[in-house]
Amino acid sequence: MKSIVLGGGCFWGVEAYFKQLKGVVETSVGYVDGNKRNPTYQEVCGGVASHTEACQIFYDENIIKLENVLEQFFRIIDPFVRNRQGHDIGRQYRSGIYFDYEEDENKIVEYIKNHFGKDYDRVQTEVKKNVDYDLAEPYHQDYLKKNPGGYCHVDLNLAKKEEIK
């Protein structure tokens, strides 16, 4: 099993999307790439903490490869905007890929270069080592499952299990 942390705007939608994919074993939402450990949601939203909202994904690489995870991620975000996804605006909504394994860094960068081609230089999605992922408060975990009518900038219908090979 492998893991990766993805920041793609509001973490509720990113988590709900990835939970639908075959090969994704476990998810959680939290905060990454910030100025302190264990921030609160209020600190992140208020700018006291400089984190991005993110989703940690554990996946079975025998079922879904890193490249497939990245393909799905770029399906649900706009990589060309900074500090914004959908109607969510602010530093905590920046997009980022925070890898857990050194060997994944080059694979991620190469994927982005190949996927975006001549638009690579416009990509605002950060690629960094995950060094400080902290879980969000319990009420944020599986939020859209607990609150089916909750706000979500992600089109959850885009998850197409049959496209994962």
Read off the DSSP letter of residue 9.
S
Round to whole Å and give the CA distance between 157 and 165. Answer: 18
Task: Judge whether 97 and 77 are in contact, CB under 8 Å.
Answer: no
102 C-beta neighbours (distance < 10 Å), count: 8
Residue 152 annotated to the active site: no
Of residues 10, 45, 55, 152, which has the active-site annotation? 10
**Continuous segment of H or E residues that includes residue 127:** strand 126-129
Residues marked active site are found at 10
